[in-house]
Structure 1
Amino acid sequence: MLSEFQDTLLESVKAFQSTQLVMNKYENVLQHMDSGIMLFDSEGVLTFINVQMAKLLETPRHALIGCNLLQILLHPHLNQFKKRKILRIYRETIFYRKKNHEVIDEYGRHWLITVKYGDQMDGDFLLSVKDVSEFRQIEQTAYQNDKLAMLGKISAAIAHEIRNPLTTIRGFIQLLRPHLVQLGKDEYARIILAEIDRANDIIFEFLNSSKPTAPQMVVVSVYSLLKEVVLLTESEGHMKGCEINLLLSEDANMNVSIDVKQIKQVLLNIIKNALDAIEEVKCDHSGVINITAKPEGKYVNISIQDNGNGIDKTLLAHLFDPFFTTKEKGTGLGLSVSYRIVRNHKGTISVDSIKGAGTIFEIWLPMV
C-alpha cells in the first residue's frame, strides 16, 4: 500500500515538474516576443508584463507587477505622455468597447494596441502592443504613389483644356491694351496679363508634378553639387538675414549619378522653404541653414537643417501630398514634385521637425 502511494506521489511530482517546465517555456517565449504584453486579473491587478512592454513603458517590470490601474497612472517612473495614452485606452475599452487602438508615441512611432477580455479570458484582461511603424510607412508610400498617379491624370486632362483659352485671352488683352491706355486703364491690362501668366505657371507646375521628365544621368561630385546650390541661394539668404553653411570638405570623396537639373530643383525648393520658415520667426536670433552630406552604406545622405518656425508633428505625414501646403500663397506642389524626382532616382526623402525649433530634410541617393 505504501509502495503504491509512493509511486503515485512520484508520478504527481513528475507531472508537476513537467507542467512547470512547459509553463516556464511558454513564459520565456512571452517574455522575448517583439510585442509588448500585459495581463490584468479580474480585480484589475497587473499579474504579468513581458520585457518588451517594460521597455516601451521605460519602467522596470518588478516596479509594475502587483499594481492596479490607478497605481500605474500614479507611478513616478511613467511620464505624463504615457499616462495619458493608458487612460485613453482604458476609457475607450471600458466605455466604448473598443478592442483595437492605434496610437502614435512621443517619438512618432505607430503602435497597434489590442485588448482581449471576456469569457475566454476567465475575467482577465490581456493587452498586447505591436510596432506597426514600418507597415504605416509602406502604406503611406503606396498612398502617396496613388495620389501622384491620380495627379498625373488630372494634370494631363486639364493642361490643354485650360492653357489654350488662356493663350487666346492673353492675345486679345494685348490687342486691347492700346485702347485701355487711351482710357487710362493700362493698369487693368497689366493685372490681367500678370494673373494669366500666374495661371500658366500653376499649370506648368501641374505638369511637372504629374510627370517629371526621365532623369538624364551624369556622375557628379556631391560637394560640387551642394556648393553650386549654396552659391545660388546665399544672396537670397543674406537678404533675409539667414546664413547658409555647407558643412562638407572639398576632399569628401562622394559621387552620385543624377539628373543635375532635377536634383538641383529639389535642393533649391527645400532651401527656399527653409528661408520662408526662418522669415516667419519673429525673434532676434539670426537664421541658419546647415547643409551636410555623409555616406551611409550604398547611399549618400544629404541633410538640410534650419532653425526656422518648424512644422507641427500632425502635418508631417501630409507634407509630400500634392496640393498640401502650410503657406498662405503656396500651391502645395513643390514637395510632391521633389518626392517624385527623388523616387525616380531610386532614392528616398524624409522630414522631421519640432514646432518652434526648426526642420530637417534628409535625402538618400545611391552612391557611385
Structure 2
Amino acid sequence: MLHEIHESRLLSPRSFQAGLLDSTYENVLEHIDCGVMLFDEEGVLTFVNARAYGMLEIQRYTLAGCTVVDLLTHLSLSRIKKRQLLHIYRETVYKGKTMYEFMDEYGRYWEVNASFGAGMNGSYLFTFKEISDYKKIEQTAYQNDNLAMLGKLSASIAHEIRNPLTAIRGFIQLLRPHLQGLGKEEYAKIILAEIDRANDIIHEFLSSSKPSSPQAGIISISALLKEVILLTESEVLMKGCQIVLNAIAGELYISVDVKQIKQVLINMIRNALEAISDRLDDTTGRIELGAYREGGEVRIIVSDNGKGMDVCTMSHLFNQFFTTKENGTGLGLSVSDRIIKNHGGRISVSSRINEGTSFVISLPLTPGFTA
C-alpha cells in the first residue's frame, strides 16, 4: 500500500496535500505520533507528514521534489540536523540497518525505523518516533542497579575494614602506657583520633548505602530542638559561637524517628560551624534554630551567618560524594536528605555569599497533637 502511495502521487511545490492519495490513509499518516518520510526508487521524497517536517524544523513546501542529496544540502536545514540525517543515511541505507537511535540537539532521543528491500520495490520508508521517556526509564533503572550494586559492595568493604580498625585501636590502647613512658603519648592520641575518623567515614558510608527504616515516636518540636542544642552547645561555645532557640508559637508535635532527626539537625549545626569558621572577618558566629506551622506541616529552620554558598554549590548540595570540605566525604547532607524524605518531608536551602545560609526542614504534623 505504501508503494502504491508513493507511485500514485508526487510532491509538488504547491502543496504536499494535493494528489491522488486516498484521504483516509493520508489522514492516518498525517496524524500518527511518529514522523514519516517516503523516498521512491530514485531517491526522491514523495511523502512527509507534519511530525517529520516539524522535527526537521523547516517548511513542508521546501521539501517538494527533494532527493536525499538535496535534503543533506538543504539551505533551511541546520548543520546539526544535516549531520544527524547523514548518520541515519549511513546506518540504514549504506549499512543496511533497519533501526537506529540518536539524540538531537535538544537532548531528545529518537528511534528511526527503515523499511526497504524487495517488498518495497526500491522505495525507502523512514519512521521517526521520540523515545525520550523510555530512555529515561532505562537509564534510571540502569543507574539504580549500579547504585544498588555499589551500595552492597561499599557495605561489604566497610565491614571488612572496620574489623581490623577495631583490633588496631585495641592494641594502641594497650601500648599507650608504654608510649607515655617514652614521652610519645601524642602519637597514640593521633592514631586513635585517625582511627575514630576512619570509623566515622565508614559509618556514613553504611548509612548512605543502607539507611535504616524510621522508628517513629511522637515528640514536640520545642523539646526536640532543646535536646539538640544541649548536645551541641559545648562544641558551639568552644568555637566562640552562639546558638539560639527562637520562640515557637504553640506546641507542635511530629511523629518521627527522633534519633535520625537529631542526626540531621546536628549535622546541619556542625556544617554551620564550619561555614562560620571559614568567614574571613571577625563577625561573631551565630546559629539560630526555630520552627513554625505551615498548613499541615512544621517548618524547622537552621540558619547561620557563615560564609554562605553560591548557586552552583547549592545545586549539588544533596548529591552523594559532593563536598567543599578538604576532609569531607560528601555524605552528610545526602544522608540527611534521604532521612527526611523517608519521613515524608523535604529539605530546602537558601544562601547568600558572606551573609549566611538557612536550611528549612518540612515535616508532616501529627494530627491531634497541635496546640
Q: Classify the TM-score, shorter chain.
A: 0.5 to 0.7
Match for residue 212 of structure 1? 211
How much is the aligned-residue C-alpha RMSD, in angstroms? 5.1
Query: What is the match of residue 134 of structure 1?
Result: 133
Distance 1:167 1:96 in 2: 61
Q: Which amino acid aligns with 1:200?
A: N
* Structure 2 CA distance for aligned equivalents of residues 52 and 347 of structure 1: 42
- The residue number in structure 2 matching 1:203 is 202
Q: Deviations over 1:131-190 (max 9, x none)?
A: 111112222333333334434544554444331221111232344456567778778767
Structure 1 residue aligned with 2:275, among 224, 227, 236?
Answer: 236
Task: Call closer, same or farther: CA 1:74–1:136 in 2, change over 3 Å.
Answer: same
The amino acid across from 1:133 in the alignment is S
- Residues 60-113 of structure 1 deviation map (CA, whole Å, 9 limit, x = unaligned): 222223212232222232222222211112122244332222112222222112
> Secondary structure of 2:165's partner?
helix
Distance 1:92 1:253, change over 3 A: same
Residues 125/162 of structure 1: CA separation in 2 closer, same or farther (3 Å cut): same
Q: Which has the higher helix share?
A: 1
Q: Distance in 1 between matches of 2:208 and 2:25?
A: 54
Paired positions, count: 274
3-state DSSP of counterpart to 1:123 = coil
Within a 5 Å distance, the mapping from 1:349-368 to structure 2 comes to: none
TM-score normalised by structure 1 residue count:
0.55
**1:124 aligns to what?**
123
**Closer/same/farther in 2, CA of residues 232 and 208 from structure 1, 3 Å limit:** closer
1:245 corresponds in structure 2 to none
Structure 2: how far apart are the matches of 1:231 and 1:174? 28
Asked whether the 8 Å contact 1:59–1:78 carries over to 2, the reply is yes
Residue 40 (str. 1) matches residue 79 (str. 2) = no
For 1:64 and 1:27, locate their aligned partners in 2 and report how far apart those are by CA, in whole Å: 17
> Match for residue 64 of structure 2?
65
Q: Deviations over 1:329-359 (max 9, x none)?
A: 986867975886587467999xxxxxxxxxx
Q: Distance in 2 between matches of 1:366 and 1:55?
A: 46
Q: Give, in whole Å, the separation in 2 of the partners of 1:170 and 1:81.
A: 61
**Range moving further from structure 2, 182-191 or 27-36:** 182-191
Relative to structure 1, is the Cα distance of residues 102 and 158 closer, same or farther in structure 2, using a 3 angstrom cutoff? Answer: same
The 3-state SS of whatever aligns with 2:195 is: helix
Please give the alpha-carbon distance, in whole angstroms, between the structure 2 residues aligned to 1:252 and 1:42.
72
The answer (yes or no) to whether the contact 1:177–1:186 under 8 Å persists in 2 is yes
User: In the TM superposition, what are the counterparts of 1:5-24 in structure 2 within 5 Å?
Assistant: 23-24=22-23
Cα distance between partner residues in 2 of 1:184 and 1:205: 35
Aligned counterpart, 1:362:
none
TM normalised by structure 2 equals: 0.55
Name the SS for the 1:102 alignment partner: strand
- Identity over the aligned pairs, expressed in percent? 52
**Distance in structure 2 (CA, Å) of the matches to 1:21 and 1:55:** 24
Cα gap change, 1:176/1:231 in structure 2, threshold over 3 Å: closer, same or farther? closer
- Larger of the two Rg values belongs to structure: 2
How far apart, in 2, do the equivalents of 1:43 and 1:347 lie? 63
Aligned to 2:146: 147
Counterpart CA distance in 1 for 2:105 and 2:276 is: 33
Counterpart of 1:99 in structure 2 is 98
Question: Which letter maps to 2:170?
Answer: G
Residue aligned with 1:67, SS: coil
Tell me if structure 2 keeps the 8 A contact 1:219–1:257.
Answer: no
Q: Letter of the 1:103 partner, please give it.
A: F
Query: Which residue of structure 1 aligns with residue 169 of structure 2?
Result: 170
The AA in structure 1 aligned to 2:275 is E
Report the AA paired with residue 135 of structure 1. Y
Structure 2 alignment gaps of length 5 or more: 1-7, 9-18, 218-253, 257-263, 281-290, 348-361, 366-371
Looking at structure 1, the residues matched to 130 and 32 of structure 2 have their Cα atoms a distance apart, in angstroms, of 12
